[in-house]
Amino acid sequence: MSAVYVVGTADTKDAELRYVRDVVAARELDTVLVDVGTSGHRSTADVTPDQIAAFHPDGPQAVRSDDRGTAVAAMALALERFVVANEADIGGLVALGGSGGTALVSPAMRALPVGRPKVLVSTVASGNVAPYVGPADIAMMYAVTDVAGLNRISRQVLGNAANAIAGMVANPVPARADDRPAVGLTMFGVTTPVVTQLVATLGERYDPLVFHATGTGGQSMEKLVDSGLVAGVLDITTTEVADLVVGGVFPATEDRLGAIQRTGVPYVGSCGALDMVNFGAPDTIPARFDDRLFHVHNPQVTLMRTTADENAEFARFLAARLNQCPGPVRFLLPERGVSALDADGKPFWDPTADEALFAILEQLVEQTERRRLVRVPHHINDAEFGDAVLDAFAEVTR
């Protein structure tokens, strides 16, 4: 069995790291204590800061800086390279830290494959953890007290984290024999009917992986595409592009569709939920949008209808990336609406705004035999639209 790696800055958290290591070792698991401190201290860990620093692409001297921020950023990159190089030996990784330690360790955790156990005890785990977790399956635990010594609270929290990682590593999820290729699908609540139809139909031949299009959902799907774990993509819900361009709370990154470009994986996309930008509660919406049309989805999510000008920007973003995709591509345009709210009689029904999106896509996408736009005279959640998606997927995977 591979070892449990216990990672942190031993110059400030040596006792806590060794406590976690000892709890894991008591479960009869091998452990490796990794010190990523940047103070220049003398380390007695199994893997010392100098050994980690040697993995920095610019050499160990890149980590030796009097500026703490610079040193931490450099050590984070070195640790990520170390973890990638030793990935086969890492059965699971548990780490602990404050804000700096969390920022240092989390990129390395994200570099591990999905499914590899990862537990991070952090003083910032009760806030916005998206920058740390990203598209990875990191389990974050709030430290409650600062990670600054062992006490009646920290022993309990750190002990729970140690037992959690030990249980994950000692009891791996049994592999299930499944020779179906995986296919990735993007979904939002307002595109659920069509994605449900696709999953039900594709399930006999494919293993459908559905990703919630909340910013990290698209990143997670593309991470699996880059890893070669997805044989095709049904990117029905590209709404994260709207939040990126306009400034919503569920944005894509500029690398949206980057994995499709890099791998050439068969791709079928559409305009799902590009009629909306996501914000939080109404009192959190920036004042510059005061004159816009809103729909309260729930107390924590408020949706804003996109305009024709914004839709044109989304089209430019998508077209630039679709034109760089070397594999087979079909992008479907649902003429009767792009979400459950964008339908005749519904709050966001706006054919003029939708047409601005479709027209710019048709103008800018360089259509070839392998890359085509397809207008479909149905709503995105109509069964007929789902059938058109399935036909397009059959074409790109032929």
Determine how many CB atoms are found less than 10 A away from the CB of residue 171.
9
- Asked whether 37 and 10 are in contact (CB, 8 A), the reply is yes
User: What confidence score (pLDDT) does residue 114 get?
Assistant: 87
User: What confidence score (pLDDT) does residue 80 get?
Assistant: 97
User: What confidence score (pLDDT) does residue 298 get?
Assistant: 84
Taking CA atoms, 55 is separated from 9, 51, 69, 96, 226, in Å, by 17, 7, 18, 21, 23
Q: 254 burial class (0-12, 13-18, 19+ CB within 10 angstroms)?
A: exposed
Measured CA angle at 380 (ends 325, 240), to 5 deg = 55
Determine how many CB atoms are found less than 10 A away from the CB of residue 113.
13
How far is Cα 67 from Cα 346, in angstroms, rounded to an integer? Answer: 56
* pLDDT beneath 50, residues of the chain: none
Model confidence over 220-278: pLDDT tens digits? 999 999 989 899 999 999 999 999 999 999 999 999 999 999 999 999 999 999 999 99
Chain mean position to CA 328: 24
Model confidence over 97-121: pLDDT tens digits? 998 999 999 999 999 988 999 999 9
Chain mean position to CA 256: 11
Domains of the chain: 3-170 (3.40.50.12020), 182-396 (3.40.50.12030)
Instruction: Compute the radius of gyration of the chain from its Cα atoms.
Output: 24
Determine how many CB atoms are found less than 10 A away from the CB of residue 230.
23
User: What confidence score (pLDDT) does residue 68 get?
Assistant: 85
How far is Cα 120 from Cα 105, in angstroms, rounded to an integer? Answer: 9
User: What confidence score (pLDDT) does residue 1 get?
Assistant: 62
How far is Cα 332 from Cα 22, in angstroms, rounded to an integer? Answer: 56
